[in-house]
Structure 1
Amino acid sequence: MTREDLLDADARRDRTDLDGALNYLLVGSDRRPGAAGDDQRSDTILVVHVPADTKSAYLVSFPRDLLVSIPPGGNGYGGGSDKLNAAYEHGGGGEAGVQLLSATLTRLTGLRFDGAALIDFAGLRQVIDLLGGVRMCVDTEVRSIHTGTLFSPGCQQMDGARALDYVRQRYDLPGGDYDRQRHQQQLLRAMLDRAGETNLRRDPVRLDRLIRAVGASLTVDTNGVPLEDLLLTLRDLPPDALTGVQVPSHPQTIDGISYVVLDGGGGALFDAVRGARMPGWVQANPRWVTRL
């Protein structure tokens, strides 16, 4: 597993205490063959909030088109207003891209992070295949703009290519990118469910291949905490204790460009994450919550 300093200094907690609440940044990159660093996008941006008891977790999805203030970056970017996922591109992709994205999120939310992970979607496809596929429930018929595949409503088994194609769709869905955020959250839940169902301990060859595939698809920053200690802390977190959360916001066209703009309730969400008061926020804001 590759280890890099993914967090900007201003976005990093001074010290991570595994006995307290934890906040991790997950970034999904659609790195394409032959693409330069500044031609990469972060189409999945999640903050995982784990309360101190580690019995639950909240997956907070940020809209990729959210209008934000991006600080200057080490790639020569001078800073300015842009879509959230542009921070990764302005930073040059990879390690520096996540650093600028983390600094942008800290400026927006006031959060400092206990760690981060950069996920390569191409590698994730192999992980899903080694798990034997995942069960996804399609709620609205949609045709892929990438492959032309038609996804019909109903629960179905999907291999890695099909699952990742499905969760990338946003056009022709009633909720657009909000539906895509929810589907990405559901995929993470489905992968955890499948890993729990699969008897990997009795198949050491398959387990070894899966571990290698996971390692190859992840770049991590654990803020100095040994990865083994982090996994031990989170070992009892059940998949059914995951709650999907979306940032209160709405689409808006500004100067002919389509953005997503933060609603007033967004600040209350960020306050709840910082103050470890997510159960109360979830109860008060069912519109923005998905039970995965």
Structure 2
Amino acid sequence: MGTGAPHWARTLVGVGLALAVVAVAALIGVRALTERYDSSVARGQLLDDDARRDRTDPDGPLNYLLVGSDRFRGADDADQRSDTILIVHLPAGLRQAYLVSVPRDLLVAIPPAPNGYRGGQDKINAAYDLGGGGAGGARLLSATLHRLTGLEFDGAAVVDFTGLRRVIDLLGGVRMCVDTEVRSVHTGTVFAPGCRQMDGAAALDYVRQRYDLPDGDYDRQRHQQQLLRAMLDRAGQTNLLGDPLRLDSLIRAVGDSLTVDTNGVPLEDLVLALRALPADGLVGVRVPSSPQLIGQVSYVVLDDGGNALFAAVRAARMAPWAAANPRWVNRL
């Protein structure tokens, strides 16, 4: 395996979709497994050229962009706003991952796009739609984040939540702990405080809620980060080797859920690398910001603390930043 090989995989770990495949890689044989996995994962150019990093230090800190959307492949809907935006930062050594949740209502300057969009100020989750959804939407979103943060990315992935629901079900559900009662605005389900096993539909319903929660969208971001941790924990507990039919179904479900931009890293190397990051190595981070009403529209506005966060990511100094800013760090 080359020196630049084992890095994109950490992003898939952060998403929590591919660890179940890795759990049996050593026993089944990496090449046989990746041949099955490779054919089921869609590829795309998800990063804008200015937002893509030309790797010079393959063992150094890495940044990935993860986008969660209710629709991606084959979507015709005019409204394809990204429901989840995560910057995943991996310090050198690749034994930890900081999951930086970008507020969906963050007010940003969105640059012009090749599809004719002329650029302007809007909520950041509009960038995916304004870029045309799909790969074009992801590229405009990456360009927007690059302009906002100064970050360049080593890869990207778009996750279709519909496929993610099946992945969770094939894992046998996930254990989620509800700290504040919330009623789903989508299904009417009431999630009472306490820990319980949730199937895919319930887990995704729960982590989409933000109304009537003490910290609104910040709580939603924390719940989504907790879901990623729960999926990693569950994947590590599941004996897929003894159930090849379930394994094949899981691989297909993962493929149906993901479109990736690996930045040239071979998939076989990625699968080998997925074993490096433990589930307890995930750290949830909120972007320092505050809600504001501007022209009768509710936005989230970045403050100086947010700028300091992105500076810490650029300088690969997230550990001291997190120690100095516990208010913005989530326990997962």
Task: Output the TM-score relative to the length of structure 1.
Answer: 0.97
Call closer, same or farther: CA 1:217–1:188 in 2, change over 3 Å: same
Q: Determine what percentage of the aligned residue pairs are the same residue.
A: 76
- Does residue 186 (structure 1) correspond to residue 207 (structure 2)? The answer is no
Call closer, same or farther: CA 1:33–1:24 in 2, change over 3 Å: closer
Aligned 8 A contact 1:68 1:104 in 2? yes
Matches within 5 A, 1:1-292: 1-15=41-55, 17-31=57-71, 36=76, 38-292=78-332
> Which stretches in structure 2 are left out of the alignment for 5+ residues?
1-40
Call closer, same or farther: CA 1:7–1:37 in 2, change over 3 Å: farther
Q: State the secondary structure of the residue aligned to 2:276.
A: coil
Paired with 2:78 and 2:146, the residues of 1 have a C-alpha distance of 22
Alpha-carbon distance, 1:89 to partner: 0.7
Alpha-carbon distance, 1:36 to partner: 2.6
Q: State the secondary structure of the residue aligned to 2:71.
A: coil
Alpha-carbon distance, 1:205 to partner: 1.5
Alpha-carbon distance, 1:67 to partner: 0.2
Call closer, same or farther: CA 1:170–1:254 in 2, change over 3 Å: same
What do residues 86-111 of structure 1 show as CA deviations (whole Å, max 9, x unaligned)?
A: 00010010100000000000000000
User: 1 or 2 for the larger relative contact order (CA 8 Å, sep ≥6)?
Assistant: 2
Paired with 2:282 and 2:74, the residues of 1 have a C-alpha distance of 36
Paired with 2:237 and 2:203, the residues of 1 have a C-alpha distance of 18
What do residues 185-241 of structure 1 show as CA deviations (whole Å, max 9, x unaligned)?
A: 000000000000111122222111111110110000011111222332342210011
Paired with 2:274 and 2:322, the residues of 1 have a C-alpha distance of 22
Aligned 8 A contact 1:16 1:223 in 2? no
Paired with 2:178 and 2:144, the residues of 1 have a C-alpha distance of 33
Q: Which has the higher strand share?
A: 1
Q: What CA RMSD, in Å, does the superposition of the two structures yield over aligned residues? A: 1.4
Paired with 1:38 and 1:231, the residues of 2 have a C-alpha distance of 35
Aligned 8 A contact 2:72 2:134 in 1? no
Aligned 8 A contact 1:244 1:291 in 2? yes
Aligned 8 A contact 1:16 1:114 in 2? no
Paired with 2:209 and 2:241, the residues of 1 have a C-alpha distance of 35
Alpha-carbon distance, 1:33 to partner: 11
> Which stretches in structure 1 are left out of the alignment for 5+ residues?
none
Alpha-carbon distance, 1:74 to partner: 1.7
Paired with 1:37 and 1:270, the residues of 2 have a C-alpha distance of 33
Paired with 1:216 and 1:170, the residues of 2 have a C-alpha distance of 27
Call closer, same or farther: CA 1:285–1:277 in 2, change over 3 Å: same
Alpha-carbon distance, 1:41 to partner: 1.4
What do residues 49-90 of structure 1 show as CA deviations (whole Å, max 9, x unaligned)?
A: 111201111000000000000000122110010000000010
Task: Output the TM-score relative to the length of structure 2.
Answer: 0.86
